[in-house]
Structure 1
Amino acid sequence: MIRAPGSPARETSASWRTFVDGLVDFLLPGACVLCRRAHSPGRGGEATEDSIVCGTCLARLVPLALPQCARCGHPRLSLSIPLPIARPTAAGPTWPSAVDLPPCRWCTRLDPAIRIVRSVCRMDDGTGGELVHALKYQGWHRVARPMARRMARLDWPPDVREERAAVIPMPLSTQRLRERGYNQAEVLARALAPHWQVPVWHDILRRERHTESQVRLTPSQRTSNVSGAFAVPAHRRAMLRGQHVVLVDDVVTTAATLNAAAHALLEGGARIISCVTFGRAPDSGDRAASDDDSLRN
């Protein structure tokens, strides 16, 4: 006999599942991969599948200070540059527009082919660096979910939202991929793509040669290190031609790697390249996180 959807048998089965799930949570409570403290899945404002990181640690992410450059997303002001002051007018105070603010020093390092860059948080304060480390070096793939959720919430101009055709993860060299076993940028890209409802083109961009780690290199050394390191395979150029694509990486420091990858995509036929990263390394002259008024309240 076929039972109705709301039959007692189905309700009893659902009750048992709820009981078993609750028992498992009681006996084996979830633990945050960052602070190692036990917490209940689904709490702290995140979905259950994101509970590998607790809400407290996610709340400790430190966003980039405002105001930000409209193109590169970097904080526009340093300790040596005063805050913009409203100009009194008959209609009320008028705040300066982006063109009234001092020129952005970070934008000057970007390749002209790059339309826009966005990042979620600082890497020198809060839990941003710990999240990246957990994904990149400890193999915690599931931390990419809350990371990608925040990348998806970043503000983008209308043309980028309308035109982005796909996300392209920053590739690793064959040697680095063999050592690590996975590409953290691709893990992030696959978690981000559903939020934007675009595909992941993981084989459009290749790293042609192994490069030295950028961590201890100067800005000029970083540029030389990755120069010519990327290429678009000939059989993928037709797919890329004329498209606006978004490069995805875990962290941006001097933008040397983004520039090299963007140059290869442009040569491969892309029309516009935008970039998104989870973290951004501090730059000389940046305000400290404690100087950001939005974090004092």
Structure 2
Amino acid sequence: MSLFRRGSAAITGSIGRLLFPPVCPGCQAAVTGSGTVCCACWPKLRFIERPYCEVLGLPFAYDLGKGFLSAEAIAEPPPFARLRAAVLYEDLAARLVSSLKYADRTDLVPLMAGWMTRAGAELIADAEVVVPVPLHPGRLWRRRFNQSAEIARLVARGARLSFSPLSLKRVKATRSQVGLGPAQRRANVRGAFQVVETRRDELDGKRVLLVDDVYTTGATVASATRALKRAGARDVDVLTFARVATGTE
């Protein structure tokens, strides 16, 4: 970049910070830089650290030994290999997800993607291609962007992985999962996803990292995983920003 362009970028950035000073995404208090959380809001985030279930990423209250699985993973093994999430879906984390999805807060994407990259480091190291959970075209038109795709784009770019946002499509206009029970959620997304025939080579024989914003019962990512594996994906790992705390102690 030339000296002139660097100078122009610096001036533009300074003007932008003056007109739109960075604020905490939790409480709107002034912060030193964009993509940061203030000291008051930081304790409201519960980051998921080991020990946790090696399959579902559910945090344990104490270390039960290497490779220990949760009761949920044993009773109903998921179709994907591993799940990792950055934070528990509660309090501030839930507000961040809602702000991104429904208030067009795309400025939160770098923050969320950064935390997810840290949480999913082992999954990213094994991945060959990153695929976001798609929205149905009708919902995408109303929302104007797919929050999972925006996050997945940055995760893939940071890890220098192939990004395949168009290989998986949602072919069924499902109702919102909010308020539905586990069985209803599974029925709602059954057969909802399909791999685009002309893009099968982007997935065939590869380990896929499937990215979504929230994991609740797992019905959505399970349905998407099955579609990916039917199309030839060697295996699928799942990375989300948040997950519910079901099964924690």
- TM-score normalized with structure 1 length: 0.73
- RMSD between superposed Cα atoms in Å: 2.8
Measured in 1, the distance between the counterparts of 2:175 and 2:10 equals 51
Match of 2:81 in 1: 115
Measured in 2, the distance between the counterparts of 1:233 and 1:23 equals 44
AA aligned to 1:35 is: C
Does the aligned pair in 2 maintain the 1:249–1:277 contact within 8 Å?
yes
Higher relative contact order (CA 8 A, sep 6+): 2
Match of 1:64 in 2: 48
Match of 2:198 in 1: 235
Q: What is the CA distance between 1:116 and its match in structure 2? A: 0.9
Match of 2:65 in 1: 97
Matches within 5 A, 1:216-231: 216-231=179-194
Measured in 1, the distance between the counterparts of 2:208 and 2:189 equals 20
Match of 1:93 in 2: none
1:191 aligns with 2:158: no
1:39 aligns with 2:15: no
Measured in 2, the distance between the counterparts of 1:184 and 1:17 equals 27
* Matched pairs, number: 245
Match of 1:144 in 2: 109
Q: What is the CA distance between 1:194 and its match in structure 2? A: 1.7
Does the aligned pair in 2 maintain the 1:111–1:263 contact within 8 Å?
no
1:54 aligns with 2:37: yes
AA aligned to 1:235 is: T
Match of 1:209 in 2: 172
Measured in 1, the distance between the counterparts of 2:18 and 2:201 equals 54
Q: Secondary structure at the match of 1:71?
A: coil
1:264 aligns with 2:232: no
Q: What is the CA distance between 1:226 and its match in structure 2? A: 0.6
Give deviations 1:257-278, integer Å, cap 9, x for gaps.
1110000000011011000000
Match of 2:94 in 1: 129
Measured in 1, the distance between the counterparts of 2:100 and 2:186 equals 25
Measured in 1, the distance between the counterparts of 2:199 and 2:108 equals 31
Distance 1:26 1:220, change over 3 A: closer
AA aligned to 2:54 is: A
Q: Secondary structure at the match of 1:275?
A: strand
Does the aligned pair in 2 maintain the 1:53–1:143 contact within 8 Å?
no
Give deviations 1:117-169, integer Å, cap 9, x for gaps.
100001124x2111111111110112010110111112544xx4444111100
Distance 1:67 1:171, change over 3 A: same
Larger-Rg structure:
1
Q: Secondary structure at the match of 1:63?
A: coil
Q: Secondary structure at the match of 1:68?
A: coil
Q: What is the CA distance between 1:19 and its match in structure 2? A: 8.3
1:255 aligns with 2:218: yes
Measured in 2, the distance between the counterparts of 1:187 and 1:71 equals 25
Q: Secondary structure at the match of 1:106?
A: helix
Q: What is the CA distance between 1:199 and its match in structure 2? A: 2.2
Distance 1:227 1:53, change over 3 A: same
Measured in 1, the distance between the counterparts of 2:120 and 2:110 equals 18
- Percent same amino acid among aligned pairs? 31
Does the aligned pair in 2 maintain the 1:74–1:106 contact within 8 Å?
no
Measured in 2, the distance between the counterparts of 1:227 and 1:17 equals 48
Which region of structure 1 is more displaced relative to structure 2, 193-202 or 27-36?
27-36
Does the aligned pair in 2 maintain the 1:34–1:53 contact within 8 Å?
no
Match of 1:174 in 2: 137
Gaps of 5+ in 2: none
